[in-house]
Every structure is written in structure tokens, then in C-alpha cells.
Amino acid sequence: MFRLASKEMFDLPGTNGRFVHLASIHKSVREYMLFVDTQTDRCYIEEVSGGHLEFIEDDALAVDLAKFCESRSLSDPRRIGEYLNGKAIAKHQEHG
């Protein structure tokens, strides 16, 4: 059903590091993105359409996507924390 296309973590462009890409998921020709808001620690899954993110209207699809991500620990707080800690260390080394 779903295919994990990428689990690379990176800051989403234009967000000053507030939003971090956690995963890209494909289902047929559709693409979805899992990302986290680093200020609230809330994760979101939205559909990528025409280069923009769109809210997923289908509740059953959203639940299935969330279960898929959870089963692969893509939104695990430890994974997110390691990425953010690594960024903080790199930033400190640049200025220090």
C-alpha cells in the first residue's frame, strides 16, 4: 500500500528550522510528507500536490498513514531529538 520514499531529515526551506522533514511516503502516484513543528513538537502528515502541502481530507487515509509512520518509528521523539541536537552542536562549532 504505502512505500517509504525517504526518511532523510532536513529543515524545510523557508521555515528557519521550525519545520523538519521526517519522511516522504508514496502511495501509487500520490506523495505525502511527515514533518514536525520543532516549536510545538507536533507531527503532521500532509499531501504534496503541485509543490505545496495540502491537508488530507480523508480521515481513514490519514489514520493509515499515521500507523505506517508509527510502525517505522519515523516520528520517534528520540530520532527527532538526535537530529536537533546534532544541528545545535554544528551551529555551536561554527560560532565557537
Phi, psi of 68 (to 5 degrees): -60, -50
Q: Over the chain, what is the mean pLDDT?
A: 94
Domain count, the chain: 1
CA 30 to mean position of chain CA atoms: 16
Residue linked to cell 519522511: 23
What is this structure's pTM?
0.91
Question: Exposed (0-12), middle (13-18) or buried (19+): which is 87, by Cβ within 10 Å?
Answer: middle
* Best CA proximity match to 24, nearest among 57, 1, 50, 46: 46
Is residue 15 helix, strand or coil?
coil
Provide mean pLDDT across the span 54-73: 97
Q: Which domain holds residue 46?
A: 3-95
Which residue is associated with the grid cell 503541485?
50
The predicted-structure confidence for 12-42, as pLDDT tens digits, reads as follows 999 999 999 999 999 999 999 999 999 999 9
